[in-house]
Structure formats: structure tokens, C-alpha cells
């Protein structure tokens, strides 16, 4: 009797690890463990570039590209037909230019003088890059065209470095605040004013061509798809 009682009270022999693991996996599959069924889990979602949307509407297939080409073309015409001054937009450009000086008042004078024109061109390009990343093609094209307009504005300012006849914001008439006169004088490039202005103006033309080309390419791709 004693041996039978001891046999009944003895604990069961442990199962091999392989069997225990298989049984645990089967139990988890039944109860939903490991798939989030037991409760919410902390998830970290990293934002990425939006997925491209298929062009299915008349706006995405046609009109956004037509609008982009028309606005870029109109801006190019205004830019090259009015001596570098575009109504309304150039006033805003001037504000961006002066803000560039304000941001860099603490750096050496040469860099501070350059910062105004640099921000005029760089700010629209940076916005264009952001909108391209967001897959907003219309906005990206318009930002490229805006940067082209600013680059031509800079070329007009640069071409005035020797004559200094342009009316300048906050200038007392002495020309001491003429950014490009000061920049080129310090670098010893004042004699190359015309050549440098032509290079910058050519860059403006190239950016306008890029903007119009992207509009045409987007139109062709949307229609083909």
C-alpha cells in the first residue's frame, strides 16, 4: 500500500523541451498571444514619404500641370519684361532679403551682405524640396519658378554693383549699403560685374526651363498612366 500511495503522489515526469515549446506555441496561436490580441501594445510609427496617389481625376491628370505651366510661364514673362521687379511678389522678396541680413547680423560683414540674396533664392528651393518630398508636384514647380524669379532679381542687383543707381531700402544715397558692391569690392571682383550678373541670370533662365519641363513631364506621365 505504501508503495502504491507513493506512486500516486509522485509528480509527473517533465516533458522534453521540444514538446513544451511546441505546446506553448500552439496555445499562443489559440489565444492570440504574440499577435496583439491580449491588449494594445506600444507601437512607434516613423513618418515617411507619402505613397504616390494614382492620377484618376481631371485635376491630377491634366489641370494641375496646365496651371503649373501657365503660372511659371506668366511669372517668367513678368520677370524678364519688368527689369527684375515683379508686382507684389518682389515686395515680398525684399522682405525675405532683409530677413536674411537680420538673421546673420552677427557674422562677418561679407557673409551678412551675401545672406540677403542667398536667402531669396534658397528659401523657395527649400520649400520646393519639401513639397517634392510630400509629392505635391504643383507646389514644387511653383517654388522652382519663384526661385528663378528671385535669381533674376539678384542678377539685376549684382549688375548694379558698379553704377549703384538702383534705389535701395534704407540707403542714405551714398551706396554704402549696396550688398553686391561691397561683396565684389572685398573680393576684388568688381571688374567682373557684368560677367557674374550674366551667369546668375542664366541660372534664372535654367530654373524657369526646369519648372516648365517638370510641368510638361508630369502632364505626359499622367496622361500615359
pLDDT tens track for 157-173: 999 999 999 888 867 66
Q: What is the pTM of this model?
A: 0.76
Q: What is the per-residue pLDDT across 94-148, written as a single tens digit (0 to 9) for each?
A: 999 999 999 999 999 999 999 999 999 999 999 999 999 999 999 999 999 999 9
Q: Are 115 and 98 in contact (CB under 8 A)?
A: no
Residue 61 has pLDDT above 80, yes or no: no
Q: Are 53 and 60 in contact (CB under 8 A)?
A: yes
Where does the chain have alpha helices with state H?
2-9, 17-31, 58, 64-81, 89-103, 109-133, 137-159, 179-187, 193-224
Residue 18 has pLDDT above 70, yes or no: no
pLDDT at 46: 44
Amino acid at each position: 500500500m505504501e508503495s502504491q500511495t507513493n506512486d500516486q503522489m509522485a509528480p509527473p515526469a517533465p516533458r522534453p523541451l521540444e514538446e513544451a515549446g511546441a505546446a506553448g506555441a500552439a496555445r499562443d496561436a489559440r489565444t492570440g498571444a504574440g499577435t496583439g490580441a491580449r491588449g494594445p501594445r506600444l507601437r512607434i510609427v516613423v513618418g515617411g514619404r507619402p505613397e504616390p496617389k494614382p492620377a484618376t481625376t481631371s485635376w491630377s491628370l491634366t489641370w494641375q500641370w496646365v496651371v503649373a505651366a501657365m503660372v511659371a510661364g506668366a511669372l517668367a514673362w513678368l520677370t524678364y519684361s519688368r527689369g527684375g521687379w515683379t508686382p507684389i511678389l518682389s515686395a515680398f522678396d525684399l522682405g525675405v532679403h532683409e530677413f536674411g541680413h537680420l538673421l546673420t547680423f552677427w557674422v562677418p560683414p561679407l557673409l551678412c551682405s551675401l545672406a540677403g540674396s542667398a536667402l531669396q533664392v534658397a528659401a523657395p528651393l527649400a520649400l520646393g524640396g519639401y513639397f517634392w518630398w510630400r509629392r505635391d508636384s504643383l507646389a514644387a514647380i511653383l517654388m522652382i519658378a519663384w526661385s528663378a524669379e528671385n535669381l533674376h532679381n539678384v542678377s539685376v542687383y549684382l549688375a548694379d554693383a558698379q553704377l549703384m543707381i538702383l534705389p535701395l531700402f534704407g540707403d542714405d544715397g551714398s551706396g554704402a549699403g549696396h550688398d553686391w558692391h561691397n561683396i565684389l569690392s572685398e573680393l576684388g571682383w568688381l571688374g567682373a560685374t557684368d560677367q557674374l550678373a550674366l551667369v546668375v541670370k542664366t541660372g534664372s533662365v535654367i530654373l524657369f526651363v526646369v519648372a516648365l519641363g517638370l510641368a510638361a513631364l508630369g502632364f505626359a506621365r499622367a496622361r500615359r498612366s
